[in-house]
């Protein structure tokens, strides 16, 4: 049944209409529905254009809709056959022309993947996943692509008929099978045509092309909702790529990480507290013994008493609903679920189980065939990034440690603590597991993962504060009754995978992360087609955005100041001294949500009085210092696309103006703010980059009208004036001294040989442990890792290359990883190691030279989490991500924030360029759904509602 059959019927009329009229009305309703989806769904907007029949063009527009910013009325719609057709032996195909006409030289295969392959799959998935529509005829004969008049790909497919759409709820298995085979057929035809094409004399091998196409299929069909995955599964070529992670599993794993972070934060405040630990069992939990299980099952398939012809189900275990397990309760459940016990009632199944176990475990060399549970490596990394430790607590014996470690090493997990049991053990496994954990000393066991109910029960009793979670490996039976909770009521997961994106609707969303390490970078799209939807602002439009931000902030400042006495009515009623009353009002303003971050306990009214009174008594401007604004972290392109400050930094200056206006409303002299820039201080950088960054900041300062109360001063210039002319020489000597301290401590470590092992050992010999302040080499390394310079091969898009390198920068041992990626990862690791040594050496040098005492008679703001005596400053608010760590983003509600460039592209944001920065770096990014094309000559424009509503976050 077509989706049009179920479309909303037109209003009833007094006479029946002909079948032709009814069909026309239904088609019109279907086109309108699809047009509305494309209008509000960012993914569809980027990858799908509609070409309705001419008789509907008056209503829906003529030509592909919505118009593409780079395509005029002469846009070309070409079929797949036309794209690949070579009319003469010496004539280039349209596809070859498209590759040759790129604005930037990108590898031909990468270009085709992003502009032709991904759009096909993305449209198919987005319609199915979010809008419950199945596109059944996206095949080689009907698929069309959009090209600009200059024969460049826009990255959009063109739908010319809605007859092939089906409501997912009404689609049957044949519809889904037809849809899957159609899509696969179109991709196969495109792959074949690409292999036969030549690009500057180069042709691509079929294996390489198929691998690239399959990689996109796998990426786009991963993390589907369980409902979509269930609908899409079937006996068709796409089935092997269909993948899903239940939301409950994602929630459980995120809760574990949250608790690790919470425990780690408490330990930073009090180092005497135990290390947070996550305990993971191995067999059928952290490791998947599929090859061993298949071997053991086949071993038992021969003739035996009760089954004289053998047990064919065990001979072909791949046909079973679920595989057997070594544990007796799970084995018994396997007999029930598979039905083999009923089919062979005379077989002594306990004897079969007794034979299964040695076949499963021996010879021990077979343990090397185990695979890591999906998501395990990433989960271990996340636990460690959160400040915790993972412990593998297995029932395996000491004699198989070598075999087990070999499997873990394939995922870069050989550094993780592995607890095994004695070879001669006789006591229960669960009891010995508890003993092993307790021998480790003080651990805060945050969570325990185990597949066996008995183990979980004992571990829960031993560690009552821990989350105890059952694991049921996909494709294996456990002791759980299908459809029911585990016997002990434990929450259940199947793998250690989490969802890379929380938002599943069509509205682009911010990541709300403070570290790019939290993102599943390897799962994100780099948005090559999105770059073709760029908006180019005029000078007048740029200034109108600045004026709007300033006007909104000034109005907010007046409201904040006017409301302050009401909020403090009780406190002010007990204070008669006008200066003390002013202190309370100023402290209240400092603590407002749009300005403040962190705990209020770090800056009390009493602390404020100590800082403010010297200025209030003299009626002088209050001296404030704020460190920050080093340089834009654009080295990889994942965070930002250029080295200059964008609208995010300008927004912080507007926020500081808002603070100044609020303060002046209660204390007329206001503030005198000194922003301490440190572009050179911790990590040497080219002078031209730092100077260009500060020069642009001063231009922004004039635009927002802040030059009369705010100045940018280099951190080291202030130190030279305060400490004296010997500073530079002393500082260089001390930095070199501390660098040698680190080099000596880490002399035996090679971050490019065993990254995680080197970091684990670095934590044990870290020179920072001898110094107060809570900074640790391992933590700082992880922070710096994503902000080092990297070389990009010719013909590679920088963001695409960086995504592949940073998908798992610690993974150097996987034989499937291309050698050039491994080489790049080693380069990044070595550079980050060197930069971390330099950074921490500068920190220790600052302490030695007394930098802390340079600003004792100032109100000290900080953009980091505040320590006692400092005011936490929220900058743009909304997340802990600082403007210079990301890219300016304005969401559909007009709120200015900061996020990582790769996340924004993945979510359907597009770049907005302004004359204030030029056309090499976006000034901000906005959802593509907040842009429009009114005039093809002018290209994309921001919708008026966005410009009129742009504002800073209020909290």
Domain locations along the chain: 3-241, 247-286+370-493, 290-365, 529-683+699-707+857-952, 729-852
Tell me what pLDDT residue 416 has: 96
Q: Are strands 275-280 and 887-890 parallel, antiparallel or unpaired?
A: unpaired
**Is residue 164 within 8 Å of residue 136, measured between CB atoms?**
yes
Do 3-241 and 247-286+370-493 fold alike per CATH?
no
- pTM equals 0.92
d(CA 899, CA 889): 7
The dihedrals phi and psi of 908, each to the nearest 5 degrees, come to 95, 20
pLDDT tens for each residue of 879-908:
678 999 999 999 999 999 999 999 999 999
**Is residue 948 within 8 Å of residue 587, measured between CB atoms?**
no
Tell me what pLDDT residue 934 has: 85
d(CA 314, CA 304): 13
**Is residue 866 within 8 Å of residue 810, measured between CB atoms?**
no
- Asked if pLDDT for residue 570 goes beyond 50, the answer is yes
pLDDT tens for each residue of 814-824:
888 999 999 99
Mean pLDDT across 203-207 = 93
More confident call, 332 vs 105: 332
Tell me what pLDDT residue 854 has: 77
The sheet with strand 467-471 has its strands ordered as 417-421, 389-397, 275-280, 443-450, 467-471, 492-493
Residue 18 confidence class, pLDDT cut points 50, 70, 90: low
- Asked if pLDDT for residue 251 goes beyond 50, the answer is yes
More confident call, 108 vs 722: 108
Identify the CATH class of 247-286+370-493. Answer: alpha beta
Determine what percent of the chain is predicted with pLDDT higher than 70: 95
d(CA 9, CA 28): 11
Q: Are strands 887-890 and 895-899 parallel, antiparallel or unpaired?
A: antiparallel
Tell me what pLDDT residue 678 has: 87
d(CA 105, CA 204): 17
d(CA 683, CA 837): 10
Tell me what pLDDT residue 769 has: 87
Tell me what pLDDT residue 710 has: 97
Sign of CA dihedral 78, 81, 84, 89: negative
Q: How does DSSP classify residue 900?
A: -
Mean pLDDT across 50-68 = 77
Tell me what pLDDT residue 89 has: 63
Burial class, 246, CB count within 10 angstroms (exposed 0-12 / middle 13-18 / buried 19+): middle
Give the range among 408-422, 499-513, 752-766 with minimum mean pLDDT. 499-513
Residue 230 confidence class, pLDDT cut points 50, 70, 90: very high
Give the range among 458-472, 498-512, 578-592, 727-741 with minimum mean pLDDT. 498-512
Hey, is 766 helix, strand or coil?
A: coil
Instruction: Show the 3-state SS of 124-141.
Output: HHHHHHHHCEEECCCCCC
Tell me what pLDDT residue 4 has: 46
How far is residue 591 CA from its own chain's centroid?
31
Residue 504 confidence class, pLDDT cut points 50, 70, 90: low
Look over the chain and give the mean of its residue pLDDT values, rounded to a whole number: 91
Q: What is the CATH number of domain 3-241?
A: 1.10.510
What DSSP string describes 677-707?
A: E-TTTSS---HHHHHHHHHHHHHHHHHTT-T
Buried b or exposed e, range 190-229, using 16+ CB within 10 angstroms: bbebbeebebeeeebeeeebeebbeebbebbbbbbbeebb
**Is residue 514 within 8 Å of residue 493, measured between CB atoms?**
no
Retrieve residue 303's tokens.
Answer: 């003739």
Angle between helices 819-849 and 727-745 (to 10 degrees): 130
The sheet with strand 871-872 has its strands ordered as 710-714, 671-677, 622-627, 859-862, 871-872
Retrieve residue 149's tokens.
Answer: 């008049």
Tell me what pLDDT residue 503 has: 56
Tell me what pLDDT residue 318 has: 80
The dihedrals phi and psi of 624, each to the nearest 5 degrees, come to -125, 135
Tell me what pLDDT residue 162 has: 86
Determine what percent of the chain is predicted with pLDDT higher than 90: 77
Residue 2 confidence class, pLDDT cut points 50, 70, 90: very low
**Is residue 922 within 8 Å of residue 913, measured between CB atoms?**
yes
Mean pLDDT across 156-171 = 90
Mean pLDDT across 273-283 = 97
Residue 87 confidence class, pLDDT cut points 50, 70, 90: confident
d(CA 250, CA 259): 14
Angle between helices 687-703 and 647-666 (to 10 degrees): 50
Tell me what pLDDT residue 59 has: 64
d(CA 241, CA 219): 8
Tell me what pLDDT residue 1 has: 42
**Is residue 500 within 8 Å of residue 223, measured between CB atoms?**
yes
Tell me what pLDDT residue 19 has: 65
Phi-psi region of 939 (alpha: psi -120 to 50; beta: other; left: phi over 0): left
Give the range among 82-96, 235-249, 338-352, 779-793 with minimum mean pLDDT. 82-96
Give the range among 427-431, 581-585, 764-768, 812-816 with minimum mean pLDDT. 812-816
Distances in whole angstroms, Cα of residue 569 to Cα of each of 565, 573, 665, 668: 6, 6, 17, 21
- Asked if pLDDT for residue 468 goes beyond 80, the answer is yes
């Amino acid at each position: 049944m077509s989706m049009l059959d179920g479309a909303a019927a037109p209003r009833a009329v007094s006479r029946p209409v002909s079948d032709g009229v009814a069909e026309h009305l239904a088609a019109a309703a279907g086109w309108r529905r699809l047009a509305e989806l494309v209008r509000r769904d960012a993914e569809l907007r980027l990858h799908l254009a509609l070409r309705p029949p001419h008789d509907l063009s008056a209503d829906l527009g003529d030509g592909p809709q919505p118009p593409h910013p780079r395509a005029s009325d002469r846009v070309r719609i070409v079929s797949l056959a036309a794209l690949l057709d070579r009319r003469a032996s010496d004539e280039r195909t349209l596809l070859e022309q498209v590759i040759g006409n790129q604005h930037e030289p990108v590898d031909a295969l990468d270009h085709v993947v992003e502009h032709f392959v991904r759009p096909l799959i993305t449209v198919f998935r987005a319609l199915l996943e979010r809008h419950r529509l199945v596109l059944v005829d996206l095949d080689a004969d009907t698929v069309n692509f959009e090209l600009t008049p200059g024969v460049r790909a826009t990255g959009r497919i063109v739908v010319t008929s809605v007859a092939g759409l089906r409501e997912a709820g009404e689609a049957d298995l044949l519809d889904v099978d037809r849809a899957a085979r159609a899509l696969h057929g179109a991709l196969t035809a495109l792959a074949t045509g690409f292999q036969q094409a030549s690009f500057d004399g180069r042709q691509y091998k079929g294996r390489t092309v198929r691998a690239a196409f399959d990689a996109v299929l796998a990426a786009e069909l991963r993390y589907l909702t369980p409902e979509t995955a269930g609908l899409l599964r079937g006996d068709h070529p796409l089935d092997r790529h269909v993948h899903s992670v239940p939301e409950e599993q994602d929630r459980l794993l995120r809760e574990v990480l949250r608790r690790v972070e919470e425990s780690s934060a408490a330990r930073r405040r009090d180092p005497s507290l135990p290390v947070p630990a996550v305990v993971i069992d191995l067999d059928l939990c952290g490791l998947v013994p599929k090859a061993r299980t298949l071997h053991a099952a086949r071993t038992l398939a021969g003739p035996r008493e009760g089954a004289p012809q053998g047990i064919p189900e065990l001979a072909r275990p791949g046909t079973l609903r679920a595989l057997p397990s070594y544990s007796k309760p799970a084995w018994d459940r396997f007999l029930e679920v598979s039905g083999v016990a009923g089919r062979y009632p005379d077989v002594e199944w306990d004897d079969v189980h007794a034979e299964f176990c040695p076949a499963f475990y021996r010879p021990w060399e077979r343990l090397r065939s185990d695979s890591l549970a999906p998501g395990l490596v990433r989960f271990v990394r996340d636990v460690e990034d959160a400040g915790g430790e993972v412990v593998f607590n297995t029932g395996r014996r000491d004699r198989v440690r070598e075999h087990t470690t070999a499997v873990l090493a394939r995922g870069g997990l050989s550094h993780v603590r592995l607890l095994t049991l004695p070879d001669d053990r006789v006591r229960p496994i669960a009891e010995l597991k508890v003993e092993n954990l307790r021998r480790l000393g003080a651990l805060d066991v945050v969570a325990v993962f185990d597949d066996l109910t008995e183990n979980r029960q004992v571990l829960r009793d031993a560690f009552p504060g821990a989350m105890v979670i059952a694991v049921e490996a996909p494709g294996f039976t456990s002791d759980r009754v299908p459809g029911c909770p585990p016997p002990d009521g434990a929450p259940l997961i199947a793998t250690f995978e989490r969802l890379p994106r929380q938002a599943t609707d069509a509205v682009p969303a911010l990541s709300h992360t403070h570290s790019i390490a939290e993102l599943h970078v390897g799962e994100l799209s780099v948005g090559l087609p999105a770059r073709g939807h760029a908006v180019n602002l005029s000078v007048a439009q740029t200034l109108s955005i600045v004026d709007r931000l300033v006007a909104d902030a000034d109005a907010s400042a007046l409201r904040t100041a006017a409301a302050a006495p009401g909020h403090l009515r009780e406190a002010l009623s007990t204070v008669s001294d006008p200066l003390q009353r002013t202190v309370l009002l100023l402290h209240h303003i400092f603590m407002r949500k749009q300005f403040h971050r962190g705990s209020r306990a770090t800056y009390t009214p009493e602390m404020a009085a100590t800082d403010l009174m010297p200025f209030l008594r003299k009626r002088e401007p209050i001296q404030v210092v704020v460190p920050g604004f080093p340089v834009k972290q654009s080295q990889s392109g994942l965070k930002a696309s250029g080295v200059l400050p964008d609208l995010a930094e300008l927004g912080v200056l507007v926020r500081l103006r808002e603070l100044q206006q609020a303060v002046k409303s209660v204390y007329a002299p206001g503030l005198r703010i000194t922003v301490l820039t440190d572009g050179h201080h911790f990590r040497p950088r080219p002078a031209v980059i730092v100077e260009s960054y500060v020069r642009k900041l001063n231009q922004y300062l004039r635009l927002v009208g802040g030059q009369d109360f705010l100045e940018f001063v280099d951190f080291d210039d202030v130190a030279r004036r305060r400490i004296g002319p010997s500073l530079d020489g002393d500082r260089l000597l001390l930095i070199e001294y501390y660098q040698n301290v680190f080099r000596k401590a880490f002399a035996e470590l090679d971050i490019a040989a065993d990254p995680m092992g080197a970091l684990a050992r670095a934590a044990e010999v870290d020179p920072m442990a001898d110094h107060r302040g809570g900074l640790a080499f391992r933590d700082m390394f992880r922070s710096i890792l994503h902000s080092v310079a990297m070389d990009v091969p010719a013909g590679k898009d920088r963001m695409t290359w960086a995504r592949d390198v940073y998908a798992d920068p610690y993974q150097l041992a996987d034989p499937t990883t291309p050698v050039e990626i491994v080489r790049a990862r080693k380069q990044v690791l070595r550079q980050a190691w060197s930069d971390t040594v330099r950074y921490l050496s500068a920190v220790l040098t600052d302490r030695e030279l007394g930098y802390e005492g340079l600003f004792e008679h100032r109100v000290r703001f900080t953009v980091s989490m505040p320590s006692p005596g400092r005011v936490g400053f929220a900058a743009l608010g909304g997340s802990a991500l600082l403007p210079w760590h990301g890219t300016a983003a304005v969401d559909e509600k007009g709120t200015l924030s900061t996020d990582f460039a790769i996340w924004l592209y993945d979510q359907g944001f597009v770049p907005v360029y302004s004359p204030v920065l030029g056309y090499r770096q976006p000034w901000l990014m906005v959802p593509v759904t907040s842009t429009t094309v009114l005039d093809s000559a002018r290209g994309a424009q921001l919708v008026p509602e966005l410009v009129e509503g742009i504002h800073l976050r209020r909290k």
